[in-house]
């Protein structure tokens, strides 16, 4: 049986939906919102869907006409939905085209992982070789007593290296005398410190920062040295030569030639400087033309690399060793200089500017 007010309900429903759907759909700002609003009319629980479920209750003579009106309205809602969705898509595309560009063909950006500084790398390489030969690693303070830096190493009081102009004295420390305090000018202080607290036999290497009032393309007021020394009974110059030759060949090239020149350091006797064949023109290969043109060794095929010698008996006396019983050798090198030679770096400042463009090449 048809209910008389079903017609009324149905017509009212159609009128209400017709008056509201268009604005509601057009107000949607994105696709999910549009679909939600659309569902309120034509979804499974939608207002129009509910009306259509009333159809069987309509009187037979009105059912066809009201059904057609409801279907037409459903069609209109669908058309409006399509138009609004199309607009939303077009606006999104326009925003992509006019907004900041995204080029998916560009290579990705790699993260910049940190890496070791060239001086740290050289220090590690040098230590690896010397530790494999049996040397222990020791450390010492950069702020040092004058006497450990000079007096106990046998520097005479008027030695030029002790000149205030070559040294940074610590303000507030004693201005002069054995107990004045300074930034160490050499890692040879470690000889004094380690020998004073240990008995031979000992073999020690010690890398670290040192300070001098120097500043040009090859000198920096702070730089790095590495000290090595060995004390035992019956140590000879031959062992010093053997250790340094093997060390330089492992570090640079197994073919490098090594030569020793007499030189003076107060804490060694005899003292020497070590040259090795130039690693830039590969002087050992004997290509005269290449060596003549070499700017690093200036054509002579050699470069100065470190200082060395047999530890002076006076140093042994100063640390309480019997100079009649013990002999030993010592050597010292600039780690900056070795890094510059090994990596072909022309100016020491590059090592301390911390420019990532430079450092990332190593
Ligand atoms: N300490 C010396 C310097 O700074 C280098 C050196 C070390 C020389 C050990 C001989 C032996 O110049």
Residue 313 lies inside a defined structural domain of this protein: yes
Strand 258-263 and strand 302-311: the pairing is unpaired
CA–chain centroid gap for 151, Å, is 40
Q: How far is the CA of 206 from the centre of ligand 1 (A)?
A: 12
CB 280 within 8 A of CB 344: yes
CB 278 within 8 A of CB 301: yes
User: Do 85 and 129 belong to one domain?
Assistant: no
Q: What is the pLDDT along the chain (362 residues), one digit of tens a residue?
A: 556 688 999 999 999 999 999 999 999 999 999 999 999 999 999 999 999 998 898 898 888 999 999 999 999 999 999 999 999 999 999 988 888 877 888 888 888 888 899 999 999 999 999 999 999 999 999 999 989 999 999 998 877 777 766 788 887 666 666 678 899 999 999 999 999 999 999 999 999 999 998 888 778 899 999 999 999 999 999 999 999 999 999 999 999 999 999 999 999 999 999 999 999 899 999 999 999 999 888 999 999 999 999 999 999 999 999 999 999 999 999 999 999 888 888 888 899 998 988 888 88
User: Do 81 and 138 belong to one domain?
Assistant: no
Query: Which protein residues touch ligand 1 with a CB less than 6 Å away?
Result: 186, 188, 227, 265, 268, 307-309, 330-332
The domain total for the chain is: 2
- Write the DSSP assignment of 180-204 as a string of letters: -EEE-S-TTHHHHHHHHH-PSSEEE
Residue 111 lies inside a defined structural domain of this protein: no
Atom of ligand 1 nearest to the CA of 228: 9
- Residue 201 CA: distances (Å) to CA of 174, 192, 245, 307: 35, 15, 22, 22
Atom of ligand 1 nearest to the CA of 307: 8
Backbone angles phi, psi at 325, to 5 degrees: -95, -40
User: Do 94 and 154 belong to one domain?
Assistant: no
HSE-up of 81 (CA within 13 Å, CB side)?
Answer: 20
pTM of the full structure: 0.70
- Structural domain boundaries enclosing 30: 6-98
Residue 73 lies inside a defined structural domain of this protein: yes
* Residues 216, 201: Cα–Cα separation, whole Å: 40
Q: Which residues of 177-202 are buried (b: 16+ CB within 10 A; e: fewer)?
A: eeebbbbbbbbbbbbbbbbeeeebeb
User: Do 92 and 126 belong to one domain?
Assistant: no
Q: How far is the CA of 354 from the centre of ligand 1 (A)?
A: 28
Angle between helices 60-98 and 4-27 (to 10 degrees): 10
Please name the residues in contact with 202: beta carbons below 8 A apart, sequence gap of 6 or more. Answer: 136, 194, 195, 229, 230, 231, 232
Secondary structure element (H or E) that encloses residue 98, with its range: helix 60-98
Residue 31 lies inside a defined structural domain of this protein: yes
Q: How far is the CA of 298 from the centre of ligand 1 (A)?
A: 24
Residue 109 lies inside a defined structural domain of this protein: no
Residue 74: its pLDDT value, please? 94
Q: What angle do CA 162, 167, 169 make, to 5 degrees?
A: 110
């Amino acid at each position: 049986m048809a209910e008389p007010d079903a017609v009324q309900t149905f017509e009212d429903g159609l009128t209400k939906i017709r008056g509201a759907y268009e604005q509601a759909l057009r107000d949607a700002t994105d696709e999910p919102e549009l679909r939600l609003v659309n569902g309120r009319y034509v979804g499974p629980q939608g207002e129009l869907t509910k009306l259509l479920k009333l159809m069987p209750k309509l009187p037979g003579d009105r059912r066809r006409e009201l059904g057609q009106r409801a279907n037409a309205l459903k069609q209109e809602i669908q058309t409006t939905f399509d138009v609004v969705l199309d607009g939303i898509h077009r606006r999104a595309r326009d925003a992509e085209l006019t907004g900041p560009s995204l080029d998916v063909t560009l290579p990705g950006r790699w993260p910049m992982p940190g890496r070791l500084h060239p001086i740290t790398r050289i220090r590690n390489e040098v230590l690896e070789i010397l530790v494999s030969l049996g040397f222990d690693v020791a450390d010492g303070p950069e702020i040092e007593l004058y006497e450990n830096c000079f007096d106990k190493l046998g520097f005479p009081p008027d030695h030029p290296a002790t000149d205030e102009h070559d040294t940074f004295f610590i303000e507030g420390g004693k201005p002069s005398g054995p107990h004045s305090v300074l930034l160490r000018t050499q890692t040879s202080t470690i000889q004094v410190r380690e020998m004073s607290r240990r008995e031979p036999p000992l073999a020690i290497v010690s890398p670290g920062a040192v300070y001098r009032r120097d500043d040009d393309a090859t000198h920096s007021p702070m730089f790095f040295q590495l000290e090595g020394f060995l004390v035992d009974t019956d140590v000879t110059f031959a062992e010093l030569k053997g250790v340094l030759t093997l060390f330089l060949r492992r570090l640079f090239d197994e073919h490098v030639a090594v030569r020793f020149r007499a030189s003076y350091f107060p804490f060694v006797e005899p003292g020497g400087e070590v040259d090795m064949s130039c690693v830039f023109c590969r002087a050992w290969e004997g290509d005269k033309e290449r060596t003549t043109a070499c700017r690093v060794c200036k054509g002579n095929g050699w470069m100065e690399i470190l200082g060395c010698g047999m530890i002076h008996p006076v140093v042994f006396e100063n640390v309480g060793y019997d100079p009649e019983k013990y002999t030993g050798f010592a050597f010292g090198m600039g780690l900056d200089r070795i890094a510059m030679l090994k990596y072909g770096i022309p100016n020491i400042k590059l090592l301390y500017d911390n420019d990532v463009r430079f450092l990332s090449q190593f």
